[in-house]
Chain A
């Protein structure tokens, strides 16, 4: 018997039991829905994370932190060490100093090393307007910024790049209106004299306006000024405090064309802990992957449950159609073909369930995407991304699972004795 004839006959007998077919495939559909949706969320999450990370980091950049003494037992009290320390769950490490920065800068393959200046500013304002809180960060040329107006030209000449959420507060009508305007940053002095804190203001020219990011951790979330400017602010702000010249981290830049992993090993061998942009990324990906795996796990559980549904439905179908099977065998239909007929019916159920589940998932995802994007305030970015390849793979996978579940009932049908089946009561 031709396989096409068997497929058509399989489809027809399912059509004759519409309600049963639909209910059985809906069970798989639940699994398909969950799996397709979680794959889409995972894909969207990874897409989003990687766009954020690649636009906010330079792949040649390394984040260097002090390394805790590996011989220290964190369960025991720690001995006092001179100078400020950082404490990672009782793993004590000395903060980095300018000496360390210089040492890192000299490591083979490192182009430059810049400490992360933890400067805090008092306020930011435009003459005659209200004062506002703000944070400033160092401008890094390797990081792509989303400019609404202007650019980074003149950053080394007391230029500042502001975020668009301040435009209204400063009374600018548009982003272009802000370009070229003067802005002041006021900083507290670290040295306290006669109970009074001295305040110094630093003047900047607005050279660019960028979109503000919802992620506070992102380097593009704050105002950006040059490294020299931020050092000047830091020096004024921290000099005289015990935290002066003590850094929790250093940004090292590997030479162009140099393998960033080799540089990372070199820095680690020098007694520091370096992480590449990729390392930082992999943590986020790992988080997304674990989340996705849990969701897929639920989907697989649903599929597993539906397997018993298919077996049950197909067994009932074999019992109901005993005479039909007997007739087909009497007419010379081979065992193998009878088995195939029932396996293909199971395949149809799997296909139907997969298609229904995937279809509903795509509809649900497409409908909810704008709401999710709005709720998370991530603009036009889609957090649920359906990849055709993975959707098709899920449907094919479910067809295969269904066929496998159909094996036992199919075998029962194939083994049926036509004489018994055709006995008239």
Chain B
């Protein structure tokens, strides 16, 4: 369960102060898929950064399974992220010159998973996104859709509890985009993983169980959440 309580993030000082996130509160039950919608500049990315512990709120708090991550030390929040969270980005951020295997291995190395357990986990993750045959291929040899599937494999390899997807289909055509969406929603449903999708694509948002609309940092409307 993710509890977001009265989050405010202010940029600038005094007269120039701007609330990128302005008094946002909601509760996401574990395993729910939530879309955070809004135009660019609405504060949806900032909200995601704060919810994932990459950024700290000016006031308010984010409590994940009873843990206030806004109060954790940098070291603890890094550890929390490496064990419980994962990310998928619009521009994939796969390492072009590394093999698919090494790309997927990175989160396991960061989370200190023992070497003996890694291989099985990586093979399973690549199988889940249908990239088993590309295990030794370099990431740069993949197509756009394959790259994003590789990013999904990297995101799910360490069995995260929360999956953040920042415009996951923004750089893909509708067919390959749909495939990646299927992968994400299937994974979320089967494993009871909370999926938080940041997007301005209403079709993608409508596939989520809940939607949070942001405008100028404030919640404009909220659907499916308490």
Contacts and interface: CB of A to CB of B under 8 A. Distances in A.
B6 to A, nearest CB: 21
Interface residues on A, range: 20 to 34
B186 interface: no
Contact of B106 (A2, A331, A335): A331
A410 B37 CA distance: 37
A337 B107 CA distance: 13
Contact of A333 (B90, B93, B110): B110
B189 interface: no
B110 A330 contact: no
A16 interface: yes
Contact of B110 (A1, A12, A419, A424): A1
B54 A2 contact: no
Contact of A334 (B78, B86, B106): B78
Contacts of B102: 12
Given A1-B110, A334-B78, A419-B49, A12 B98 contact: yes
Contact of A327 (B80, B85, B93, B111): B93
Nearest to B155: A331
Given A331-B82, A332-B83, A419-B55, A424 B106 contact: no
Interface residues of B, number: 30
A378 interface: no
A375 to B, nearest CB: 50
A424 to B, nearest CB: 5
Nearest to B102: A12
A5 interface: yes
B85 A332 contact: yes
A182 interface: no
A16 B97 contact: yes
Contacts of B112: 1-2
A334 B74 CA distance: 8
Contacts of B30: none
A418 interface: yes
B82 A333 contact: yes
A332 B87 contact: no
A334 B91 CA distance: 23
A332 B54 contact: no
Interface centre among B52, B87, B93, B97 (most CB of A within 10 A): B93
A424 B74 contact: no
A332 B106 contact: no
B5 interface: no
Nearest to B77: A332
B75 interface: yes
A334 B98 CA distance: 21
A1 B109 contact: yes
Given A331-B81, A332-B82, A332-B85, A323 B54 contact: no
Name which of B78, B87, B107, B167 has the most chain A CB atoms within 10 A of its CB: B78
A332 B109 contact: no
Interface in B33-91: 49, 52, 54-55, 74-75, 78-83, 85-87, 89-91
24 contacts: A1-B110, A1-B112, A12-B98, A12-B102, A16-B98, A326-B93, A327-B87, A328-B106, A328-B110, A330-B52, A330-B54, A330-B87, A331-B107, A331-B110, A332-B79, A332-B82, A332-B107, A333-B110, A334-B79, A335-B78, A418-B54, A419-B49, A419-B54, A422-B93
